[in-house]
Amino acid sequence: MVSAVQLIRSSSLSSVAEYAYAATAPAEARLVFLAGACPLDADGQTVAIGDHAGQAAACVANLRQALADAGATLQDVVSTRVLVASSRQADLVAAWAVVRDAFGEHDVPSTLMGVTVLGYDDQLVEVEAVAAVLD
């Protein structure tokens, strides 16, 4: 299936960013707005406690499932926001590396943010996304 998402790269902006600077989807695409994927197991328990990368992997797995339930895949994602409960840049980078690797060449525009606290006990990472699919 062909993705509705077109990634836009800018030759005028720094090439240091590990993502496209913008993305578009055609007007006929169905938009899917996903709640933040959290590092919770099927019983609602936080997994990989104390492990930013492990929690990011759990978030990506849950994001993949939510996308599948909406008839989409990671290739349909238009943008992401990665929230990391830490003031340490190394923790943000550890979580980001997992998310970036999961998306591979489909390097969608993304925002990486350090936050004070997230909603679940022992939660360190949350990944939000918007996707666009052609039905």
Q: Average the pLDDT over each of 3-12, 26-35, 83-92, 119-128 and give the range with the smallest value.
A: 3-12
How far from chain centre, in Å, is Cα 128?
5
40 in Cβ contact with 46 (< 8 Å): yes
What tokens were used for 69? 């339930």
Q: What is the pLDDT of residue 119?
A: 97
Q: What is the pLDDT of residue 2?
A: 67
Q: DSSP label at 87? A: S
Q: What is the pLDDT of residue 3?
A: 81
Q: What is the pLDDT of residue 1?
A: 58
Buried b (16+ CB within 10 A) or exposed e, 31-41: ebebebbbbbe
Is the pLDDT at 73 greater than 90? The verdict is yes
Q: The whole model's pTM is what?
A: 0.94
Question: Any residues with CB less than 8 A from the CB of 15 and at least 6 apart, and which?
Answer: none
What is the spatial distance between Cα 125 and Cα 8, in angstroms, rounded to a whole number?
A: 27
82 in Cβ contact with 125 (< 8 Å): yes
**80: nearest Cα among 134, 135, 126:** 126
